[in-house]
Amino acid sequence: MNNRLGFMSTTGILGAIIVLIAVGAWTFFLGQGLFSPGALNSSSAGKALGGVTNHAALGGQCAACHGSPWGARTQAQLCMSCHTDVSTQIQGHSGLHSGIVGSSSAPTCRGCHTEHHGANGVLTVLDEATFPHDLTGYSLAKHTRKSNGTRFTCADCHGTDIAHFDQTVCGTCHAQMDSAFMAQHEKAFGKSCLACHNGSGKDGANFDHNKLAFKLTGKHAGLACERCHTGVGASAKGPQFTPQDCYSCHAKDDKHNGTFGQQCGQCHTPAGWANAKFDHSIFPVNHGSRGGQQASCQTCHPKSLSEYTCYGCHAHTPANIVRRHEGRALADLANCIRCHAGGRGEGGD
């Protein structure tokens, strides 16, 4: 009677041994590609990292990404030996990857990034519920639900490639919500939505310009944004970079042809160009007038109202002034009011 276990077949054991030898020989001569669960991504990244422009170009060099479990380097370290931009972010405590590493107790690259899904396979898979989207610089605070009440999915904005974002997507949806506004808004600011918007909503309907340093009063109130914030879209800079000095916008409105300088606010207010008031108290207009007569503007401002000179009155000649201010060069003595405030004779330097 054969007392052997039924499965202890000689041919069976021989078959198993042949399989092991065949796999060993294949691995030795042809590499470890036999164990690959699928083709690597072959879309070119443009510039080469670690000598290749995509993972597929690594061929059967599994060890480029897979260290042995007992090896010195972790898989994340192997990733970052090529992807140095990521390690720079993490070490510099800036950017998305730094934020993710900081918010996770055991961060790994493969927690979000995947491979072996074919030549065009996805390389990033995120947990939509927990991904800290704020760290990308764009909050989803105002994008939890679509206008029809259903929840947003990653694909609604990102399509098939979650790692990239095409800003024209913003316009497509928002034009459906208010086409007239979007047409005017895009015409004024362009389509670089992210230059101004960060998703937090504070640049939306609740935005109050008067909480900023540049208050909108008088004729400035009620203007369309693009009247001041011109070229924002083209320059890809936010409206916060709009110049705040009067002349940047109002040079074309200058009736004085520049003769009064560029400090419009010394005379004018946002209430309007009319009713300009200039406080001449810094130097009395009736200074030095004879018999109560006021000197004409040209007496002190012969060239333009933004410049003055004391020469030409009294004994104020350059030679006299130099003589009476012994030891000083004439160039130092042009701004008389600096010491002779109010026109008084004694200086106070």
Partner 1 sequence: MRKRYRELIYAIVGIVVITAVYLGVYVLAGELPAASSFVGHWTGVIGFVVMLLAETVYSIRKQARNAKWGRMVGWLRAHIVMGVVGPYMVLLHSAMHFHGLAGVVMLLTVGVVISGVVGRYIYTAIPREIEGVDPARLAATRKALATWRSVHIPLTWTLFATATVHAVAALYYVTLSR
DSSP state of 260: T
Give the binding site for partner 1 (CB under 8 A).
3-9, 11-20, 23, 33-39, 62, 66-69, 74-75
For the CB of residue 22, give the shortest distance to partner 1 in the complex, in Å.
Answer: 9
For the CB of residue 270, give the shortest distance to partner 1 in the complex, in Å.
Answer: 56
Q: How many other C-beta atoms can be found within 10 angstroms of the C-beta atom of residue 65?
A: 17
Nearest CB to partner 1, comparing residues 3 and 105: 3
In the block, tokens 């059967």 appear at: 60
The CA R_g of the chain, rounded to the nearest whole Å, is 37
For the CB of residue 55, give the shortest distance to partner 1 in the complex, in Å.
Answer: 15
For the CB of residue 152, give the shortest distance to partner 1 in the complex, in Å.
Answer: 15
Query: Tokens for 37?
Result: 């669960």
For the CB of residue 4, give the shortest distance to partner 1 in the complex, in Å.
Answer: 7
Q: How far apart are the first and last CA of the chain?
A: 127
Which of 198, 186, 251 lies closest to 225, judged by CA?
A: 186
Nearest CB to partner 1, comparing residues 18 and 276: 18
For the CB of residue 5, give the shortest distance to partner 1 in the complex, in Å.
Answer: 5
Nearest CB to partner 1, comparing residues 69 and 348: 69
The packing angle between helices 84-91 and 75-82, to 10°, is 110
Q: How many other C-beta atoms can be found within 10 angstroms of the C-beta atom of residue 228?
A: 18
Nearest CB to partner 1, comparing residues 127 and 279: 127
CA angle 57, 59, 64 (to 5 degrees): 90
Nearest CB to partner 1, comparing residues 159 and 318: 159
Helix or strand run (H / E) with residue 321 = helix 318-324
Nearest CB to partner 1, comparing residues 76 and 196: 76
What φ, ψ does residue 113 adopt, rounded to 5°?
Answer: -105, 140
